[in-house]
Copies of this chain bind each other. A is one copy, B any other.
Amino acid sequence: MPHPNDPKLRSFISVDPASDFPIQNLPYGVFSSKDGLAPRVGVAIGDYVLDLWQLAQDCRIDVVEPGVFAAPTLNPFMALGPKVWSNTRARIGELLRHDYPELRDNEKLRRRALVPMADAKLHLPITVAGYTDFYSSKEHATNVGVMFRGKDNALQPNWLHMPIGYNGRASTVVVSGTQVRRPRGQLKPPNVELPSFGACKRLDFELEMGVVVGQPSRMGEMLSEKQAEEMIFGFVLLNDWSARDIQQWEYVPLGPFQAKAFATSISPWIVTREALEPFRVHGPEQNPTPLSYLKQAQPNNYDMQLDVGLRAAQMNEAMRICRTNFKYMYWSSVQQLVHHASSGCAMNIGDLLGSGTISGPEKHQRGSLLEISWNGTEPLELPEGRKRTFLEDGDSLVMRGWCQGDGYRVGFGEVEGSILPAS
């Protein structure tokens, strides 16, 4: 049987070469459709969602109990562990092959199990146990540092020694398409003496990837590189919405709180770590050499193209405002997870780790409006004379990401969110 990542594999379902969802991908999500059944687990293939619960009911996937696919979240399936993840993906790939008759020639089952993507409503794919946000792009940290502290002190002294991160708020992680209400909060611009309470005026996005942790670790135990890697179920696109003005006033000394608590958006499809395997690359050289608990024996970055589009309410289509790559990240997801557990912090199934804003070395690779507009001093020019320093009500933000193979791509779809006015 060919490996499910084999570039030569073809599905009996025709998949456009520009589709994010060829047979080499098979990302997991939670969906519901017009049939009125409850949200359940599916896999994206071309323009369809493959209903795993229907397949399991029909005894076509026997590697797990069918119940895990009837759940409205992937957590029960993730709990079964990496061997089951891998076996299930291989079996799904087999069932979808152009030269494998079992599903291809069973019209009744195909009709039940293949739901047109256009008829599917996609839900938050996991129950988020904990949400942690890192800060691991050197270019992003440097840009922010130069803006606020000048060129000579841009990076904080600890930054090159560990993946800096903080705990975010899991309760407001939402799926792509959820509208985001402009937050209110305490604002105190530097030129004003006293704070006031009002609608955020400097609302921003942050282009990130999110790691979905699929296996737990025990309190009091550290993780090796290998252990950490095996705990990673997959990745999502992540928009870490940020209220820059709230953040500036609140964050000393305990870090961002309400500035990041109002919403975090993720893509509905979780691309598995296994599907990304062919796109592994080394990250940037790490100098100074990390302490031994953070050393990497293998390349843990991914060559993943990312872009961001902004569409103001009056525009017909989004304008690309950032084009970058996940491979630029200084600290890898594996290093983040190792560091996260290094104090003995227990990790849970469903933990979500944001990578931190993904900027690159070039100007068009900046992953936030804070950087793109250089703290509001260089407004972004949109069509018809419109300008943006930060997000306005009605703006829609779309992030996309994919790894380019030879004749196919392994992609994430999109994570989209638009801004509602403050209530």
Most buried by B among A243, A249, A343: A343
Does A167 belong to the interface (CB within 8 Å)? yes
Does A322 belong to the interface (CB within 8 Å)? no
Are A167's CB and B257's CB within 8 A? yes
Q: Return chain B residues, CB-CB under 8 Å to A254.
A: 135, 164-166, 251, 255-256
CB distance from A130 to the nearest CB of B (A): 6
A-B contact pairs, 5 of them (CB 8 A): A167-B169, A171-B219, A171-B351, A172-B346, A197-B342
Q: Known contacts A168-B167, A219-B171, A423-B221; is A184 also within 8 Å of B255 by CB? A: no
Q: Choose, from A6-14, A34-42, A258-266, the stretch at the interface.
A: A258-266
- A217-231 contacts to B, CB under 8 A, are 219-222
Mark contacts of A234-249 with chain B using CB atoms, 8 A cut-off: 1 yes-contact digit, 0 otherwise: 0000000001001001
The residue on B at minimum CB distance from A259 is B343
Are B184's CB and A344's CB within 8 A? yes
- A264-291 contacts to B, CB under 8 A, are 288, 291
CB distance from A173 to the nearest CB of B (A): 10
Q: How far is the CA of A252 from the CA of B251 in the complex (A)?
A: 10
Q: Return chain B residues, CB-CB under 8 Å to A135.
A: 254
Does A314 belong to the interface (CB within 8 Å)? no
Q: How far is the CA of A318 from the CA of B46 in the complex (A)?
A: 66
Are A164's CB and B343's CB within 8 A? no
Does A250 belong to the interface (CB within 8 Å)? yes
Q: How far is the CA of A169 from the CA of B353 in the complex (A)?
A: 13
Give the contacting residue for A263; candidates B219, B243, B246, B291; CB below 8 A. B219
Interface bracket on A: 35 or more
CB distance from A161 to the nearest CB of B (A): 5
Are B130's CB and A171's CB within 8 A? yes
Give the contacting residue for A129; candidates B165, B171, B246; CB below 8 A. B171
CB distance from A163 to the nearest CB of B (A): 10
Give the contacting residue for A219; candidates B165, B168, B172, B345; CB below 8 A. B172
Does A146 belong to the interface (CB within 8 Å)? no
CB distance from A69 to the nearest CB of B (A): 24
CB distance from A154 to the nearest CB of B (A): 12
Q: Return chain B residues, CB-CB under 8 Å to A19.
A: none
Q: Return chain B residues, CB-CB under 8 Å to A348.
A: 171
Q: How far is the CA of A171 from the CA of B130 in the complex (A)?
A: 8
Q: How far is the CA of A136 from the CA of B135 in the complex (A)?
A: 27
Q: How far is the CA of A255 from the CA of B257 in the complex (A)?
A: 10
CB distance from A294 to the nearest CB of B (A): 8
